[in-house]
């Protein structure tokens, strides 16, 4: 008997050995460790890359080399954000790695936090507020620690790090000051704002298909007082060529794995542009990129957003590789394929319904790597290109990044928020089970169907609601979504898992709209932002119109705290439907007065007592206001001929290890770049 078992076991081992290793699986949503660490006002998260294992080997190899091309640009952004940033980062990393003294002292901890913040901001200024942050260690300790570790330190560098008056703001936007001289960012050297503007005016391209002059260059005044344009390019005389050569090299490798001719064209044009810096080539690249709609894999890599330049001209270097989320894109397709059914069955006056309704199919993507200006802090959507004439003639690509939203949602489950603000375990369980998925469904219904539903009466202007137009419009899209979220049709279409799921979003909407979003408003202030106004308008209107005897929903008090309490979810749906009919009438007829009345009654003013309570309950949760990400690590597996046969993902790298590795393996620029 025993022998047989051994034999079977041996056979199984044999079978297992002769097979390729089992396919790597995406970690489970519910047990994945999203939270990495928190420091200062920052929280670091991991994100999963679901579906990567199902890509073809060719697509995985493509993603891999695009990722490499993304990581090689990291130094560029540090330098763009400030001319001493690379030196400061490297000095601090040397100290971090080499320091032999006490690593438990308050000074050490203050220094460590400072280095982590420098990594997060890609420099010494806060990524959002743009002010310089100071180390929480003393200058004396820092000097001493560097000396003990054998690190040369100039007084100049110490003052850039420790003197609050030196390079105080990354991008100054204050009216009346010289924005270039008062900004610490590194897009201009030796010029005044006036000189830079004059240069741009003299070199402006006024053609129908203009080149974006200045997108990829730095203006420098040379020893003779002449203004020289230093172009970012891989050719040897280009600024940042040391990094861009590596970007190009990896784009060339990626090119071999392109999925189709259009994508091949995109990558080739980007290679050419990076080599020469030629802006006509950049336009050709941008157009090819907009037209590449069929590829599964897509990417951004280069000088893109211009917020970092006080004059709004030169692009900060950023990169992101991504691939289409087939399941989510399928979900939005189901919605838009059924757009007419939703329109016909909506609870609004038939006169305001579109006779022919076309839904929009949204593209949902999965991010594979974040880099440059997309890392660690990142946008959750992409809408490019930025050149208006290309958008007008060729369109643009707009996507939402589902796996990053997922990470935000899942990480928030463990931060104590639900324990503090949700009424009971019943609501918490529904939120845990359905919250993330139904908030995606909510966004999709809002974008794919909500905004496109309904019609204006003949002669009614789009701008009739004036300053309240965007609040009312967001209400309309949200209500359309909320109304249909509870419809059996969603279950029938396979968009919602069952008839319980919508409750997660209903509770979330009411609690957030009437209560918890106030945590983002300063005490004594009104609500200004139109999405926030929209959410409060809906919640407060519903509370005001709930049944007086048997309210469908109400705010109740328990142990001195207030909670949202939903007694009757079907009844709440009916109220959402009623408000949708009213909002649609206001929109369709352009009834400015009625719109204004609704906004003023429900959307703007804040209940001061409730506001105070929310802030007091929110504060001890210590939820960091800003979040960023740690990337997964991609490791290629090569066959005997040196071809990639798989790419494996690892999610375990720490925040510190990741940055130290990037600085070690992807850091080709000199300390100071001129
Ligand atoms: Zn909207």
The DSSP line for 642-667 is S-EEEEEEE----HHHHHHHHHHHS-
**Band of residue 362 on the pLDDT scale cut at 50, 70, 90:** confident
Distance (Å) from CA 233 to ligand 1 centroid: 39
Distance (Å) from CA 602 to ligand 1 centroid: 19
Mean pLDDT of 309-314: 94
Omega of the bond prior to 385 within 30 degrees of 0, cis?
Answer: yes
What is the rounded average pLDDT for all residues in the chain?
A: 93
Is the separation of the CB atoms in 551 and 575 below 8 Å?
no
Distance (Å) from CA 423 to ligand 1 centroid: 28
Q: What is the pTM of this model?
A: 0.85
Q: Minimal CA–CA distance to 490: which of 573, 546, 401?
A: 573
Distance (Å) from CA 470 to ligand 1 centroid: 9
Distance (Å) from CA 531 to ligand 1 centroid: 8
Distance (Å) from CA 87 to ligand 1 centroid: 43
Distance (Å) from CA 447 to ligand 1 centroid: 6
Beta pairing partners, 302: 318
Q: Looking at the predicted structure, is the pLDDT value of residue 17 above 90?
A: no
Q: Provide the CA 609 distance to its chain's centre, in angstroms.
A: 34
Mean pLDDT of 256-260: 98
Distance (Å) from CA 379 to ligand 1 centroid: 17
Beta pairing partners, 38: 43
Distance (Å) from CA 222 to ligand 1 centroid: 49
Phi-psi category of residue 303: left, alpha or beta, with phi > 0 → left and psi -120 to 50 → alpha: beta
In this prediction, residue 423 carries a pLDDT of: 97
The residue with greater pLDDT, 502 or 385, is: 502
Q: Looking at the predicted structure, is the pLDDT value of residue 483 above 60?
A: yes
Distance (Å) from CA 489 to ligand 1 centroid: 22
Q: Minimal CA–CA distance to 549: which of 532, 568, 577, 576?
A: 568
Distance (Å) from CA 622 to ligand 1 centroid: 30
Mean pLDDT of 229-241: 97
Three-class secondary structure of residue 195 per DSSP: helix
418-451 as b/e: b if 16+ CB within 10 A: beebbeeeebbebbbbbbbbbbbbbbbbbbbbbe
Mean pLDDT of 245-256: 98
Distance (Å) from CA 443 to ligand 1 centroid: 8
In this prediction, residue 2 carries a pLDDT of: 39
Listed in sequence order, the DSSP H helices in 231-369 are 241-255, 261-276, 279-291, 326-337, 339-344
Cα-Cα-Cα-Cα dihedral sign, residues 581, 587, 588, 592:
positive
**Cα separations (Å) of 393 from 207, 210, 294?**
14, 13, 19
In this prediction, residue 21 carries a pLDDT of: 56
User: Phi first, then psi: what are they for 314, rounded to 5°?
Assistant: -85, 140
DSSP symbol at 216? T
Cα-Cα-Cα-Cα dihedral sign, residues 89, 95, 96, 102:
negative
Distance (Å) from CA 469 to ligand 1 centroid: 12
Is the separation of the CB atoms in 294 and 363 below 8 Å?
no
Angle between helices 326-337 and 425-444 (to 10 degrees): 70
- Over pLDDT 90: what percentage of the chain? 83
Rounded Cα distance between 117 and 110, Å, is 11
Distance (Å) from CA 446 to ligand 1 centroid: 6
In this prediction, residue 12 carries a pLDDT of: 44
Mean pLDDT of 231-254: 98
Mean pLDDT of 484-505: 97
| Token pair in block for residue 577 | 């439907």
Q: What is the 3-state secondary structure (H, E, C) of 444-505?
A: HHHHHHHCCCCCCCCCCCCCCCHHHHHHHHHHHHHHHHHHHHCCHHHHHCCCCCCCCCHHHH
Distance (Å) from CA 476 to ligand 1 centroid: 9
Rounded Cα distance between 92 and 350, Å, is 66
Distance (Å) from CA 324 to ligand 1 centroid: 22
């Amino acid at each position: 008997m025993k022998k047989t078992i051994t034999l079977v076991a041996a056979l199984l081992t044999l079978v297992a050995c002769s097979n390729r290793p089992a396919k790597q699986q995406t970690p489970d949503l519910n047990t994945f460790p999203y939270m990495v660490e928190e420091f200062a006002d920052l929280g670091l998260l991991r994100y999963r890359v679901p579906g990567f294992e199902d890509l073809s080997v060719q697509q995985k190899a493509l993603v891999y080399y695009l990722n490499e091309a993304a990581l090689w640009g990291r130094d560029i952004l540090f330098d763009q954000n400030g001319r001493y940033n690379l030196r400061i980062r490297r000095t601090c990393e040397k100290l971090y790695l080499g320091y032999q003294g006490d690593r438990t002292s308050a000074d050490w901890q203050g220094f460590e936090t400072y280095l982590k913040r420098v990594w997060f901001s890609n420099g010494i200024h806060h990524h959002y507020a743009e002010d310089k942050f100071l180390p929480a260690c003393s200058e004396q300790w820092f000097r001493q620690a560097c000396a003990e570790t054998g690190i040369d330190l100039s007084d100049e560098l110490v003052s850039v790090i420790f003197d609050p008056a030196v390079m105080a703001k990354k991008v100054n936007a204050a009216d009346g000051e010289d924005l270039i001289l008062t900004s610490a960012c590194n897009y201009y050297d030796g010029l005044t704002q006036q000189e830079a503007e004059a240069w741009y005016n003299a070199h402006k391209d006024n053609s129908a298909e203009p080149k974006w002059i200045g997108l990829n260059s730095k203006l420098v005044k040379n020893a003779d007082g002449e203004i020289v344009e230093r172009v970012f390019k891989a050719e040897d005389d280009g600024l940042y060529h040391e990094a861009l050569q590596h970007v190009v090299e990896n784009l060339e490798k990626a090119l071999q794995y392109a999925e189709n001719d259009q994508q091949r064209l995109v990558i080739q044009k980007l290679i050419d542009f990076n080599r020469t810096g030629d802006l006509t080539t950049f336009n050709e690249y941008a157009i090819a990129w907009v037209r590449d709609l069929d590829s599964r894999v897509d990417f951004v890599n280069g000088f893109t957003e211009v917020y970092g330049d006080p004059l709004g001209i030169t692009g900060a270097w950023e990169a992101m590789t991504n691939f289409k989320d087939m399941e989510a894109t399928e979900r939005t397709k189901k919605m838009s394929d059924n757009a007419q059914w939703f329109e016909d069955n909506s609870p609004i006056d038939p006169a305001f319904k579109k006779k022919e309704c076309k839904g929009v199919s949204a593209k949902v993507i999965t991010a594979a790597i974040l880099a440059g200006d997309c890392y660690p802090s990142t946008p959750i959507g992409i809408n490019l290109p930025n050149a208006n004439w290309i958008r007008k003639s060729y369109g643009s690509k707009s996507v939402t990044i589902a796996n990053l939203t997922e990470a935000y949602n899942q990480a928030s489950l463990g931060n104590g928020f639900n324990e503090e603000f949700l009424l009971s375990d019943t609501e918490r369980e529904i939120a845990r089970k359905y919250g993330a998925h139904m908030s995606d469904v909510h966004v999709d219904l809002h974008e794919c169907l909500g905004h496109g539903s309904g019609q204006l009466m003949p002669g009614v202007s789009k701008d009739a609601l004036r300053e309240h137009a965007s609040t009312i419009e967001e209400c309309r899209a949200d209500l359309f979504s909320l109304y249909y979220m509870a419809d059996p049709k969603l279950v029938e279409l396979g968009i919602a898992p069952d008839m319980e799921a919508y409750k997660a979003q209903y509770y979330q909407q009411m609690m957030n709209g009437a209560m918890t979003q106030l945590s983002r408003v300063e005490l004594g202030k009104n609500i200004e932002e139109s999405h926030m106004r929209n959410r409060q308008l809906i919640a407060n209107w519903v509370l005001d119109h709930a049944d007086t005897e048997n309210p469908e929903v109400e705010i109740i008090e328990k142990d001195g705290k207030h909670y949202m309490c939903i007694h009757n979810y079907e009844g709440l749906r009916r109220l959402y439907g009623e408000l949708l009919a009213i909002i649609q009438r206001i929109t369709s007829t352009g009834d400015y007065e009625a719109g204004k009345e609704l906004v003023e009654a429900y959307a703007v003013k804040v209940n001061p007592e409730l506001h105070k309570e929310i802030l007091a309950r929110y504060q001890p949760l210590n939820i960091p206001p800003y979040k960023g990400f740690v990337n997964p690590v991609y490791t290629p597996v090569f066959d005997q001929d040196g071809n990639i046969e798989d790419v494996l993902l690892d999610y375990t790298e720490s925040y510190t290890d990741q940055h130290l590795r990037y600085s070690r393996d992807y850091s080709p620029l000199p300390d100071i770049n001129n």
